[in-house]
Amino acid sequence: MKPPTQLLKQVKKGGEEEKMSVAVAVCSGPDGGRGSHRAVKWAVENLNLLPEPHKFILLHVMPPVTSIPTPSGNSIPIHELDPHVVKMYLQDRRVKLGEVFTPFKKYFRNIKVETMLLEGVNPAFVLVRHVSESRIKSLVLGSYSSTLFTRKSKGLNVPSIVLRYAPDTCDIYVISREKVITNLNNLLSVGDFTDSPKRNGGQTVELFEDEQICQISASEDSSGVLLDKEINHICGPSNQEAHATNKRSSSFSSLSSKNTNPQTEVEHLQSELRNSILMYKQACEQLAHAQNKVKELSSECLNDSRQVSVALQREELLKKIAAMEKAKHLEAIKEAELARDVLAKETYERQLAEMHALKESLEKQKIVNTLFVTDKRYRRYTQHEIEVATDFFSETRVIGEGGYGKVYKGTLDHTPVAIKVLRPDASDKKEEFLKEVEVLSRIRHPHLVSLLGASSESVCLVYEFMENGSLDEHIFCQNGKPALPWVVRFRIIYEIACGLTFLHNSKPESIVHRDLKPGNVLLDRNYMSKIGDVGLAKFISNVVPDDVTEYRDSVLAGTLHYMDPEYHRTGTLRPKSDLYAFGIIIIQLLTARHPKGILFAAEKAIRNGSWVNMLDKSVSNWPLLGTEELAQLALKCSQLRCRDRPDLDEEILPVLKRLCYLGRGPAVSLLDNHLSPPNHYFCPILQEVMNDPYIAADGFTYEHIAIKAWLEKHTVSPLTKLELKHKLLTPNYTLRSSIQEWKTKLQSASSNA
């Protein structure tokens, strides 16, 4: 007869032996942990020494997750959470529970071991199900109770249930401190290694018999029926039949009976063993067949279920897509109808706007045409004359550029002129362009830039040429412009005030400049200042009192740092709105600083007595008392409220006039020490310095009385003797200003001498 250990050969598959899987169920905790350590140690020391190859698996059963705890101590069901969040939580939980296997891996030094987490409410049921499905050959469990089958009030423990309901194809070992409990099929194999005290550590091996099952069954309550049903569902009928057959044939007598013949007992045991092995093989075949059938049916059922699920999902998806497409179609119809209505409305509004624009353009053109018809002082230049004067708008002729377009230097009627050309695309600047024509056509003053003519074809204005550029260039010494002496600066301040006074006192309507700044103050050849760029000027018929706040302008105009705060806040425009910018210009002429924060710095310097440190360092001989008086006046002009600012005629002009004459003495010359008149100051007819110079059609300048008398008798030029195209005369304001300045210097030098 073969040895008992060779009677337990594993099932062959395909002609080759498979590795026997030995599973050890482990758990955490003080008592369960000690039992699990005993079970793992026992399995490594005993089952690994069998002649068949083994594969060790550590099993741990974790309860299923139905809810996820929150930081506040509550729990949220998983069906109410995002699947992605639930998936992440389950992954983290499995990683943490996987640490249960770490203490047990030290027993498998040179042995390959696998770990597996199972999930279920009842650990015993989960182990039985896994053993049945995975065809594990041996399952080892630890027990922390010395009386393994002592019933508790709660019912059966895990080892008891596993021993009772595990399939006969699997060997069950329950390891306690005193003994090893196993099912019937392992009796002989256990006997092989129970002979060695070294391997068992003094433990005794006991058989899990029908008497113990009967004791357990006798004490079961109604829940026992439910256990049987659950196990029937897990293991199937074939396993139950084998289990019942084993129960009927499991009557081993005590090997130590004194009244029985040992030889007869051995033969009886051998016969029982052969019957058991035969029944075991039959049960294994039936179980394998049943498991294969179950797998096939399960696979077919799963495939059918998946196909039905996919079909339902596809149907639901198609319904949603159809609903979305229908909604999009309705929305597109609504949008098309709305777009049609909007297009019709926009077309109507565009046509209406074009009609208004055409009407306004015709009215503005009438204004320009009326200007040249009614006022003979202005010349209408042709496009060819403008192109010739600017060398066909050459870039070398450009002397400035703004939002409206470029300014070119040219020569018309033998007189240097500045030609401001409006860009074709600057339609928003046409209003300023025409406003400048309207303002300059109504006013004439020595300290306002003079308009000489215009060209409606080229859409440009012709001004007198200011040779020394803007005041801004001299303050910051830009484009090679020199710093101005303090005497010239004082005079420029006075001249700007005179120009503002003329604008504010114009009749029948006052004119507010709205964009006064150093860049709009120009200097001629003799450094006489003139205010230009009046395109943003506004006529005010009813001047608002200083103590009344009234909104007048919906669109603000001007430059940020020079804009009146009250005008910026309320839109109310008054003549005193220009005084705020005038005060900042005074401080800039004294300090040569940027306008941002200049008022606060000047006020602080005067209060701290450090005003002299703030003055422009390019001038070394400042009259300190005069500069401080000017600064105090500038701060008054730049008060936040209009009613707190001084009156221009009565309070500002007298002070500026007095300060303007501070530097005029015999040792002081403005810019030129040569007081003899230039040749172009003389009239070609009278050969005397002119008082009222006018330009004739030949381009030369004459004394008004002399050329007027000449034209009454002649139709040719006094100098060229050529036929004159017309007898219109144009005042030469630039030359007149130069002559007046020269005469003023001459008188001053004479009186001081």
Catalytic annotation, pick one of 168, 515, 533, 578: 515
More confident residue, 546 or 299: 299
pLDDT (mean) for 118-144: 87
Assess if residue 268 is contained within a domain. no
CA distance 419 to 34: 106
Assess if residue 233 is contained within a domain. no
Assess if residue 299 is contained within a domain. no
- At residue 216, the pLDDT reads 40
Shared-domain flag, residues 553 and 514? yes
The annotation places the binding site at 420
Told to judge if 515 belongs to the known catalytic residues of this protein, a careful annotator would answer yes
CA proximity to 493, closest of 656, 670, 620: 656
Shared-domain flag, residues 453 and 480? no
3-state class of 623 per DSSP?
coil
Chosen domain end from 465, 487, 502: 465
Shared-domain flag, residues 692 and 715? yes
Shared-domain flag, residues 437 and 535? no
- At residue 494, the pLDDT reads 93
Shared-domain flag, residues 25 and 172? yes
Shared-domain flag, residues 614 and 659? yes
Shared-domain flag, residues 621 and 515? yes
**Radius of gyration from C-alpha coordinates of the chain:** 57
CA distance 215 to 219: 7
CATH number for the domain spanning 443: value is 3.30.200.20
Assess if residue 517 is contained within a domain. yes
Number of domains in the chain: 4
CA proximity to 47, closest of 165, 139, 170: 139
Q: Mean pLDDT lowest for which of 5-19, 254-268, 708-722?
A: 5-19
Shared-domain flag, residues 458 and 519? no
Assess if residue 303 is contained within a domain. no
CATH number for the domain spanning 589: value is 1.10.510.10
pLDDT in tens, 605-642: 999 989 999 999 998 889 988 999 999 999 999 998 88
pLDDT in tens, 690-734: 999 999 998 889 999 889 988 988 888 888 778 888 989 999 988
pLDDT in tens, 65-111: 888 888 777 888 888 888 888 888 899 889 898 888 888 888 888 88
Residue 676 in tokens:
């003899």
- At residue 570, the pLDDT reads 79
Shared-domain flag, residues 519 and 397? no
Which structural domain range is residue 544 located in? 468-663
Shared-domain flag, residues 138 and 66? yes
pLDDT in tens, 30-46: 655 788 899 999 988 88
Assess if residue 421 is contained within a domain. yes
The annotation places the binding site for ATP at 420
**Burial, 72: exposed, middle or buried (Cβ in 10 Å; 0-12, 13-18, 19+)?**
exposed
Assess if residue 379 is contained within a domain. yes
* Cα atoms in the 13 Å half-sphere on the side-chain side of 18: 11
Assess if residue 417 is contained within a domain. yes
Chosen domain end from 465, 484, 507: 465
Give me the percent of the chain exceeding a pLDDT of 90: 22
Which residues lie closer than 8 Å to 412 by C-beta, 6 or more apart? 379, 381, 385, 389, 452, 453, 462
Chosen domain end from 194, 221, 248: 221
Shared-domain flag, residues 586 and 688? no
CATH number for the domain spanning 709: value is 3.30.40.10
Average pLDDT of the chain is 77
CA distance 360 to 355: 9
| Kind of pairing between the strands at 405-412 and 415-422 | antiparallel
Shared-domain flag, residues 522 and 502? yes
